[in-house]
Amino acid sequence: MIKLIDKQKIIISYYREGKTQRQIHRETRIARKTIRKYIREYEKKKDILTGSKGSNRSELIADIAEKPKYNSSSRYKVKLTDEIISRIKFYLEENEAKRLEGKVKQQRKKIDIFEALDDEGFDIGYTTVCNTIRGICRKQKEAYIRQEYSPGESAEFDWGDVKLTIAGKVRVLQMSVFTTAKGDYRSGDIYYNQKTENFLDTHANFFSEIGGAHKEMVYDNTRVAVARFVGRNEKEPTEALLKLSIYYGFSFRFCNNYRANEKGHVERSVEYIRRKVFSKRDEFASVEEARCYFKKELDKLNSRGQVLNNGKSALEMLALEKEHLLPEMPRYDTARIAEPRADKYSTITVDSCHYSVPDSLVGQFIFTKIYPDRIICHHDSKEVARHKRGHGKHQWFIDITHYIKTLKLKPGALKRSVAFSQMKPELRGIYQKYYKGREKSFIELMELISYEGMDRIKDAVATLMRIDPNGIGTEKIKTIVQRNTIVPDSIKSINVSDTEVSSKEITSELDKILNEESAGSKVSLV
């Protein structure tokens, strides 16, 4: 195929350098017929141009300097027959049927269609197959219709991935993003995943933040919002979304499959926020620090003036919307509900992590409320355990007070147990100072803590430290806690390091305190 530079060489060599067509052919190896064609075209158009005074002079000038063109309209594809086109259309229709059945990942790609045609014995090239498919599937470009929204009418929601370095480790977290359709007010949070409890939590936070709810919420086809597809365009909402909608009073709609532009505000917001917020900083000591930074940067973005809103910021636009929002409701209970069974270790499993419950509940079903940051367990309508939520894999969260019944029977199992390794620091300190080698007595102390609380035990230990630091034991702690003894000033003033005060005198003072109380039977912890 001759190029523009070849045409230039032909014209310059013939007219400026005086070379013959034969010489030009030898130097350029371009066919003499082609050389003659471009020389004659040039001469003809030049003669017309010099004698022309009309408005077509600019067209003639452009035509002379135009690059060579070839008329391929009369050509036809030798191997691409009507039968092959018919088979290609058959495979494309088969793909469409699979999409309608939800089998998107089982469609034939172009290479698969080419291989199917080859198996059928058709002599056709892969490039020709691709060009034919492209021609059949070519659609008119979609036009977008600009929308106008009323105050308080609509808000949009979406999830977006964000890759952050947390405590030196790279993690992919989930960023929830809300955008109001009227004023482009943006809100959101950062979570470990897109599970139902996080979906509910971020909605409750957003509605509390803006002081109400928009009349309509717009979603894409996220799993926490869409339970299943009914046909190609019908979606069945999840129970969680239905309950949330009923409670706050908003309606909802889903955008069509593969039509993120129908939810254009928030689709742009995910990319915009991720770029504006985390291009400046993406390393944090904890997820909580990242969350605080995210909120602070969102406040800055919402405070900027917007050209489309006559210079008003998103915050100012939200203030105008507030009187049109649905009334604010008390915060929704955002827990995900589960009922796992307590295993032989007296733990329940939530998302691969183990959480302890009292050992008397082994084998029982535990009504469990799963929040983004905590786990709360109930049995027979009573709270039996509460844990901080774990977000790793196969982690164990054990409260040693849940195993008192078992440890009473097996006190020797205490020191090497996971429960002992996860014991609270203050309780571990009491064990190390006063109960080392006295595991059975320490287990009785833990039972007392489960009834009286850690704060009262710490106060009792502090009292005994002033009275008899060498004689701290569970029975004395129990007596002080349950009788709520008021320590006289004479005891408070005792200096333990004073060599003049003997241990016998200290013990005597303690006995005096205990005897001042009315006699009573020992309190049983059964």
Query: Running DSSP on this structure, what letter comes out for residue 310?
Result: T
Q: List, for residues 154-207, the tens digit of each pLDDT value.
A: 999 999 999 999 999 999 999 999 999 888 999 999 999 999 999 999 999 999
Distance between CA atoms of 248 and 255, rounded to whole angstroms?
21
At residue 57, the pLDDT reads 58
Residue 511 — very low, low, confident or very high, per pLDDT cuts 50/70/90? low
In contact, 461 and 489? CB cutoff 8 Å: no
pLDDT band (50, 70, 90) for residue 502: very low
Average pLDDT over residues 15-25: 87
On the question of pLDDT at 77 being above 70, the answer is no
Residue 10 in contact with residue 38, Cβ under 8 Å?
Answer: yes
Q: CB neighbours of 133 closer than 8 A, spacing ≥ 6?
A: 88, 92, 110, 113
Tokens for 273, please give them: 């926020």
Q: What is the pLDDT of residue 467?
A: 75
Q: What is the CA radius of gyration of the chain?
A: 40
Computed over every residue of the chain, the mean pLDDT equals: 82
Q: What is the pLDDT of residue 258?
A: 47
Q: For the purposes of burial, counting CB atoms within 10 Å of the CB of 332, is it exposed (0-12), middle (13-18) or buried (19 or more)?
A: middle
Tens-place pLDDT, residues 321-372: 999 999 999 999 999 999 999 999 899 999 999 999 999 999 999 999 999 9
Short-list 63, 13, 7, CA closest to 34? 7
Higher-confidence position of 2 and 177? 177
The answer to whether residues 388 and 374 touch, using CB atoms and an 8 Å cutoff, is yes
Counted residue by residue, the chain has a size of 526
Residues 6+ positions from 315 with CB-CB distance below 8 Å: 185, 302, 303
Say what the pLDDT of residue 266 is: 47
Token pair for residue 160? Answer: 């977006």
Parallel, antiparallel or unpaired: strands 216-219 and 251-254: parallel
Residue 110, SS3 per DSSP: helix
What tens digit of pLDDT does each residue of 390-429 get? 988 889 998 888 888 888 888 878 877 888 888 888 888 8
Lowest mean pLDDT among 36-50, 134-148, 158-172: 134-148
Residue 130: predicted pLDDT: 92
More confident residue, 31 or 67: 31
In whole angstroms, give the CA distance from residue 342 to residue 406.
15
CB 487 within 8 A of CB 459: no
**373-389 burial, b for 16+ CB within 10 Å, e for fewer?**
eebbbebeeeebbebeb
pLDDT exceeds cutoff 80 at 72: no
Percent of the chain with pLDDT over 70: 82
What pLDDT shows up at residue 362? 93
User: Could you tell me the two tokens for 314?
Assistant: 């998103």
Cα 141 → chain centroid:
32
For residues 131 and 304, what is the distance between their CA atoms, to the nearest angstrom? 48
**Other CB atoms within 10 A of residue 391 CB:** 15
Q: What pLDDT score was predicted for residue 517?
A: 42
DSSP 175-232: EEEEEETTT--EEEEEESS--HHHHHHHHHHHHHHHTSB-SEEEE-S-TTTEEEEETT
Rounded Cα distance between 496 and 350, Å, is 50
- pLDDT for residue 508: 55
pLDDT at 524 over 50: no
User: Which of the two residues, 470 and 235, has the higher pLDDT score?
Assistant: 235
pLDDT at 376 exceeding the cut of 80: yes
What is the distance between the alpha carbons of residues 113 and 90, in angstroms, rounded to a whole number?
A: 10
* Residue 485, pLDDT score: 45
Predicted local distance difference test score (pLDDT) of residue 478: 82
DSSP assignment string, 331-395: PP--PEEE-PBP-TTSEEEETTEEEE--GGGTT-B-EEEE-SSEEEEEETTEEEEEEEPP-SSS-
- Give the confidence band of 238 by pLDDT, cuts at 50, 70, 90: very high
For the cut 50, the answer to whether the pLDDT of residue 241 exceeds it is yes
Q: Roughly what angle, to the nearest 10 degrees, separates helices 110-119 and 126-137?
A: 120
Question: Taking the CA of residue 287 as centre, how many other CA atoms within 13 Å lie in the half-sphere pointing to its CB?
Answer: 17
Q: Identify the burial level of 217 via C-beta atoms within 10 angstroms of its C-beta, where 0-12 means exposed, 13-18 middle and 19 or more buried.
A: buried
Nearest residue to 379 via CA among 324, 342, 434? 342
The answer to whether the CB of 466 falls within 8 A of the CB of 494 is: yes
Question: How many helices and strands in the chain, by DSSP H and E?
Answer: 20, 15
The pLDDT assigned to 474 comes to 83
Name which of 263, 406, 422, 414 is nearest 342 in CA terms. Answer: 406
> So what's the pLDDT on residue 308?
76
Least confident range from 100-104, 143-147, 165-169, 202-206: namely: 143-147
User: In sequence order, what are the residues at sequence separation of 6 or more whose Cβ sits closer than 8 angstroms to the Cβ of residue 204?
Assistant: 331, 332, 334
Predicted model pTM? 0.63
Least confident of 91-105, 165-179, 444-458, 504-518: 504-518
> For the domain 154-324, what is the CATH superfamily, name and number?
Ribonuclease H-like superfamily/Ribonuclease H (3.30.420.10)
For residue 63, the model assigns a pLDDT of 60
The yes-or-no verdict on residue 102 having pLDDT over 90 is: no
Model confidence at 519, pLDDT cuts 50, 70, 90, reads very low
Please name the helix (run of DSSP H) or strand (run of DSSP E) that holds residue 268, with its range, or none: helix 264-278
Instruction: Give the distance between the most distant pair of CA atoms in the chain.
Output: 135
Q: Indicate the range of 377-391, 415-429, 498-512 predicted with least confidence.
A: 498-512
